[in-house]
Structure 1
C-alpha cells in the first residue's frame, strides 16, 4: 500500500481551485478527481498505520477482549494502581486506547485532505467537519469521500464571494471555513447522511454474508486490485476499502484485511524471488533492487516492485496480478483474519491461522515469480542483453 503522505498532486491556494491552478489547467476532470481522491487517501494512511499497529500491540498485551474495557481501565487505573490482570493489561489498554483514537481520524482525515486538495488550507476545516459528520451519521468511508468533495467545492465557491478590501483578510481563516462547514454539514445532516449510511450498511451486510465461493472470488478480486498498479489508485482503493471496514467484532472485515495485506506483499517478494532464481533475466540494477525487495515485501510495501513494473510493465504486472489473485483467494477460503492494517510479517501476532496466511503468501509469490520468469524467458528484454554486452566496472556499479 502507498504510504507517502506527500502525494498532494492537486495544487491550489486560498483563492484558487485545483481546476484553476496552472499545473491542473490542462488535466481532464477524471484525472483531477483521481488526484484529489489519492491525496485524501495518502494523507489518511499514516493515521491508519499508526493507529492500527497500536491497536494490534494492545491486543498482544491484553487480548482482543480489551476492546470493551480499555477506556475504563485507562481512566480508572495508573501504574501504581493496576487493574486486574496486572501491568500487561494496563499497558495493553493504554496502547489500544491511543490506537483507537488515532484510528478514529480515518474518515475525517480522508475528507479533510480531499477538501484540501481542492481548495487548499481553507478547505481543511470544512473537510474535517464533513468527515466527522459522516462518522456521526454512520456514512463511514463513503460519506467521507462525498463529504470531502462537497466541502472542497463549497470552500471554493465561498472563496469567490466578493468582499470589501478590509474583510478579505478574514476570508481564508474565518469566512470560508465557517460558511463551507455550514453548507457541507447541513447537506450531510439534512439530505445525504441517511442515504449514504444506508449504502454503507448494505455493503457491510453484503460482505458479512459472503461465504464459500463468493468469499474466494472477493479475495481474488482484491488481490488483482492490490497488484494492478502497485500503490496507484486501484491499489489504494482496495486498501482503503479494507481499512475502512476494519472491525474487530466483524470476522468478515478481518478476513478482507488479511487478503488485502497478503496480496499486497506478493509483488515485491515475487520479483525478489525471480531475480534471485533467474538473475540472467534481469539487469544489474534490477538484481540490486531485488535484494531490497525482500524486506519491502515482508513489510507490506507494494511499491518495492515498481522499478520492475516500470521497466517491463507488460510482463511484470499481469504476472503479479495472477499471484495476488491466488493469495487473496486462498486467504479468504481458509478464513485467515488480521486485526492490524499494516506491518506485513511483523504483525503475525495480530493474525489468526498464521500458517494458512504464510501458505497463501508463499503460493502467490511462487506463482507470480514463475509467471514473470516464464514471460521474460520467452523474449528477453533488450536492456538486459545490452547490460550483459557492455558490463560496467565494479566501481561504476556501486
Structure 2
C-alpha cells in the first residue's frame, strides 16, 4: 500500500519511480543498473530493509510504512531536495550496527528499536502459525477431534481411510507449530545482531519450548541472544581470529550463555509465568471473557496490522499453538479473527451504500476490501484509515470491540489461526460467530457514514484530479523505493 501511494504521488509529480517490495514471501531485487541511475532512494518500512547497503551513497529518505501511505508527495519532495543539495547516505563500508539499527532515523529511541526487533520475529513467525494452524484445523475437520490421539502415521496410515489423512494433516501441522517459538526467538535475535544472532536465538527458543516457557520464553530468549551477541562483538579480537568468529566462536559462546540462562536462571520463572497466564485464560468466564474480547477487538482495529494489532494476534495464536489448546484459548482466537475482519468489510460496505462520501480511488479499494476482509486481512482498511483516520479508526474500534465481546459471549471457538470465512466450517457456533461479525460491520459502517456525512464537502467535489506540476518540477528522476 505504501508502494502504491508512492507510485501515484510519483506520477502526479512527474517522477519516474521504481519499486522493490520486501515481504514475508520474499522479494525481487532491483536491477543494479536501476539503482546506479537513480537520483534518490525512499525506504518505507517497519522491519529491517534487507541488503540495504545496495542503496548506500544515494540521497535517502528513511521512514516508516505509515509515512509512505500518508504523505508520499512530501517524501518525494524531500528526497529530491536532498538530491539537489548533493546530500547522500553513508557508503557501504561506513554503515554500522544491526539491521534494525541501520533501519530508520539515527535518533530513534530504544522503544522504537525494541518494536522493530519484536516485529522482525513476529513477521517470520506468522507464516508458520498460518500453515501449522490451518493444517491442524483441517486435520480435525477431516478426521474429527480424535485425531489428536491417533498414532504416528509412520506406524499406521491407510490410504483409503479419511481418519488417516486427518491424522497426517494434524501431525504435519503439529510439527510446523513446534517451530513457532524458535523462529520467533531466532529472528528477534537476528533483528538485533544480524546473522550471528540466529544460532543462539534458535537455541534459546528451542530451550524455551523444551522447558514449557512458551511464547514468553521465546521473547526473552530472542532478546537475550541478541544482547549476548552484541556484547561479544564489542570485544577486541586479534586479527588472526576474526575469520573464525562468525562461524565458530560467536555461535559457541553465545549459545552456551543463552542456554545457561534459559535452563538455570530465568527459564523456570518464565515457565511459571506462562503457566499462570494459561491458567488465567482457561478460567475466564462471564464478564471477564466479554471484556477481554472487547479489549482484543480494540487492539485489532487500532492500527490495522501494525504493532498493536500484531500483539493481539500473537497473543491469540500463542494460546492455540499447542497440541491440545484450552477452550478459552480457542475462544480468544475466534474473537481475534472476527474483529480483524470487521474494518475492511465495513469499509467495503460503506463504499457500497454511500459511495458519494468516498473518492473514486477509495471506491475501487472498497471492492478489494470485500475479499481482504473475508480473508482476515485487516490491512484492507488501511487506505481508508490513512485518508481519514479520525473517522475510520474510532468507528472500526467500536465495531471491533462489539464483535469481540459478542464472539466471547456466544462461545465461538476456533482452532485455525487464519483463513477468515474460509474456515467457518471449523468454527464452534458458526452462525452466532457470523452474526457477531455482521453486527460489528454494520455498526462500523453506520458510524463511518454518519461521521463522513457531517463534513461540509464531499470527496467528489475535491477529487478533481491532480493539478499540473509547477514549472521546474516536470523533469523526470528515477527513485527506487524499498518498502
2:233 matches 1:159: yes
> Deviation of residue 226 (structure 1)?
0.3
Listed as ranges, the gaps of 5+ residues in structure 1 are: 393-398
CA distance in 2, matches of 1:312, 1:148: 37
Q: Deviations over 1:60-105 (max 9, x none)?
A: 1111210111xx2402134xx55xxx52111111111111111111
2:429 matches 1:376: no
CA distance in 2, matches of 1:211, 1:276: 38
Which residue is 2:369 aligned to? 293
> Deviation of residue 160 (structure 1)?
2.2
Which residue is 2:122 aligned to? 41
Candidates 348, 352, 357, aligned match of 2:424: 348
User: Secondary structure at 1:47's aligned position in 2?
Assistant: helix
> Deviation of residue 385 (structure 1)?
2.4
Cα distance change on mapping 1:349 and 1:9 into 2, 3 Å? same
Which residue is 1:76 aligned to? 155
Count of aligned positions: 382
CA distance in 2, matches of 1:381, 1:226: 31
Candidates 121, 142, 147, aligned match of 1:61: 142
Which residue is 2:274 aligned to? 200
User: Secondary structure at 2:376's aligned position in 1?
Assistant: coil
Task: State which structure, 1 or 2, has the greater radius of gyration over its C-alpha atoms.
Answer: 2
Which residue is 1:395 aligned to? none
Q: What TM-score comes out, normalization by structure 1 length?
A: 0.91
Greater relative contact order structure (CA < 8 Å, 6+ sep): 2
Contact 1:259–1:332 (CA<8 Å) still a contact in 2? Answer: yes
CA distance in 2, matches of 1:391, 1:12: 34
Which has the higher mean CA deviation after the structures are superposed, 364-373 or 162-171?
162-171
> Deviation of residue 20 (structure 1)?
5.0
CA distance in 1, matches of 2:362, 2:217: 42
User: Which structure carries more helix by proportion?
Assistant: 1
Which has the higher mean CA deviation after the structures are superposed, 270-279 or 15-24?
15-24
> Deviation of residue 19 (structure 1)?
6.7
Contact 1:73–1:90 (CA<8 Å) still a contact in 2? Answer: no
Which residue is 1:27 aligned to? 108
Which residue is 2:219 aligned to? 145
Which has the higher mean CA deviation after the structures are superposed, 276-285 or 135-144?
135-144
> Deviation of residue 211 (structure 1)?
0.7
> Deviation of residue 190 (structure 1)?
1.1
Listed as ranges, the gaps of 5+ residues in structure 2 are: 1-21, 27-44, 52-94, 468-483
Which residue is 1:330 aligned to? 406
Which residue is 1:269 aligned to? 345
Task: Write out aligned runs for 1:239-318 (5 A).
Answer: 239-246=313-320, 247=322, 248-318=324-394
Cα distance change on mapping 1:22 and 1:359 into 2, 3 Å? closer
Give the root-mean-square deviation of aligned CA atoms.
2.2
Q: Deviations over 1:227-269 (max 9, x none)?
A: 0000000000000000001154410000000000000000100
Q: Deviations over 1:25-81 (max 9, x none)?
A: 321111111111111111100000011111111111111210111xx2402134xx5
Candidates 214, 220, 229, aligned match of 2:303: 229
User: Secondary structure at 1:76's aligned position in 2?
Assistant: coil
2:199 matches 1:118: no
CA distance in 2, matches of 1:266, 1:8: 24
CA distance in 2, matches of 1:349, 1:381: 45
Contact 2:400–2:440 (CA<8 Å) still a contact in 1? Answer: yes
Q: What TM-score comes out, normalization by structure 2 length?
A: 0.76
Cα distance change on mapping 1:321 and 1:179 into 2, 3 Å? same
CA distance in 2, matches of 1:380, 1:32: 41
Cα distance change on mapping 1:340 and 1:190 into 2, 3 Å? same
Task: Write out aligned runs for 1:169-188 (5 A).
Answer: 169-188=243-262
Q: Deviations over 1:159-183 (max 9, x none)?
A: 2222222321211122111111111
